[in-house]
Amino acid sequence: MRDLFVAAVVFGSLPFILWRPWLGILMWSWLGYMNPHRLAWGFVTSMPVALIVALTTFAAILFSKEEKRLPWTRESVLLLIFTGWMFVSTLLAQYPGMAWPQWDKVWRIILMTYVTLMLITDRQRLHWLVVVIALSIGFFGFKGGVFILTGGSGNNVMGPSGSFIADRNSVGLALIMIVPLLWYVRLQTENYWLRMGLLAGGALTLIAIIGTNSRGALLGLAAMGFFFLMKARNRLGIIMALIPVILVVLYVMPPEWFERMHTIQTYEEDASAMGRLYAWGNAITLANMFFFGGGFRAVTGFGGTDSHSNWFGVLGELGWVGLAMFVLLHVFTWLSAAQIMRWAKPHESLAWARDLAAMVQVSLIGYMSAGSFLGLQYFDLFYHLIAIIVITKMLVQKELDALRGAKPANVTKDSMSPQRGNGRMMPG
């Protein structure tokens, strides 16, 4: 039954994608983040549904009469250079048998990021993209939270098998990143019952994060939660969502959970933590040995264990220059989000952009903190967050120009800020 449902939704969406190519991004995101085909048991589990949707989207782009333009900002230009660096690193990889399959996954993610930049061109499309991403990953938070509350606290919350977020550490990081986006969707929802449902879903997701039994996710949750309280509006709602989470920790989680989390303070006595330090040392060695790094999965090939860190993973695989570009992607996205918040603050009509930029920053905090101990450096969502900020910045620029009655300025790769008075753009 699940197979028939997923197949019906996917193939039923194709005519609509041919009519409106941007719907292909929504469908591809649903398949990529929720992996509904992996939740079935029959023929659809091995069907290349994401590829079918992607090819249909490309065909629709060719025949669409919409203007097709990529926004070349500092983020999108750097991402292109970073992708080229990854390709060269793969050509020179020390373990090509491990590197090329990973490259095959990564270049597809980057390609669809650029397709997202091309097709998501207005606020409505951007809003539905965020909704689809938030609910697709949020599904595992809702499901996992219920699982913990109904007696599953002795087990681990897991993600969809065969995906980027299959294991408990990875799904914990993904759920941390999605909580701020769920909050943004709630802020944009007018229906009272939907708002309450999203609040409950956010609380269940927090419980699911704890239920992963991932120490890295717990650290990321703490960092994200602190920054969340600083950035979010309606802090009372956040506190309400935190109450059941605290109760779960105190009364539902087993003693083994507390013992495991306590090892954060005594990492030198924990074999898993020491294994991370060993892997990080291997990553530094690889970066010092090879200018382009050792290539994808080199840290695993070199030392027999994964890096368990976004930063050290990129360092070992892409070298010091690759790591610098990866860090700059975070910095540029953060600065653009801050710029959006400054521009939008005086304008009530841009409150949505201010909220979205703030929540993306919170999501980045979760990614950076939890990602310091969990290797998910090529996760789709990070690159989608970059695209979301680039698109939001473009839309804010256009609306500010419209408010001033001026012709929209061309967007360059430089950081841009509106100049008061004439509505034109000056370098920031």
Sign of the CA dihedral with 326 first, then 54, 189, and 248 last: negative
Contact (CB, 8 A) for 102 and 295: no
- Residue 427 has φ and ψ, to the nearest 5°, of -55, 135
| Long-range pairs for 62-71: beta carbons < 8 A, 24 or more residues apart | 63/18, 64/21, 66/21, 66/121, 68/118, 69/118, 70/114, 70/117, 70/118, 71/117, 71/390, 71/391, 71/394, 71/411
Closest alpha carbon to 379 in 361, 367, 391 = 367
DSSP 306: -
The three-state secondary structure class of 69 is coil
What does the alpha-carbon distance between residue 59 and residue 24 come to, in Å, rounded to a whole number? 10
DSSP 164: T
Whole-angstrom CA distances from 300 to 79, 280, 363 are 25, 11, 28
The reported pTM is 0.88
- Torsion angle of C-alpha atoms 234, 238, 241, 243, degrees rounded to 10: -120
Closest alpha carbon to 158 in 211, 222, 224, 216 = 211
What does the alpha-carbon distance between residue 347 and residue 398 come to, in Å, rounded to a whole number? 13
Q: What is the DSSP string of 257-279?
A: HHHHHHTTTTGGG-HHHHHHHHH
Closest alpha carbon to 401 in 383, 428, 421 = 421
* Ranges in the chain, pLDDT < 50: 269, 409-428
What does the alpha-carbon distance between residue 408 and residue 398 come to, in Å, rounded to a whole number? 6
Closest alpha carbon to 238 in 227, 229, 230, 246 = 229
Contact (CB, 8 A) for 76 and 113: no
The pLDDT tens digits of the residues spanning 207-249 come to 899 888 888 888 888 888 888 888 777 677 677 767 777 777 7
Helices (H), 296-409: 298-303, 310-344, 351-370, 380-403
Closest alpha carbon to 397 in 371, 423, 376 = 423
What does the alpha-carbon distance between residue 43 and residue 63 come to, in Å, rounded to a whole number? 31
What does the alpha-carbon distance between residue 113 and residue 214 come to, in Å, rounded to a whole number? 29
Sign of the CA dihedral with 91 first, then 93, 96, and 100 last: negative
DSSP 152: I
CA neighbours closer than 13 Å in the CB half-sphere of residue 98: 15
Closest alpha carbon to 144 in 135, 162, 156, 154 = 156
For residue 271, the tally of other CB atoms under 10 A from its CB is 7
pLDDT, residue 270, reads: 53
The pLDDT tens digits of the residues spanning 58-93 come to 999 998 888 888 999 999 999 999 999 999 999 999
Non-local (6+) Cβ contacts of 22 within 8 A are 119, 120, 121, 125
What is the token pair recorded at 89? 């690193």
Contact (CB, 8 A) for 175 and 207: no
Whole-angstrom CA distances from 385 to 109, 127, 263, 316 are 13, 13, 32, 24
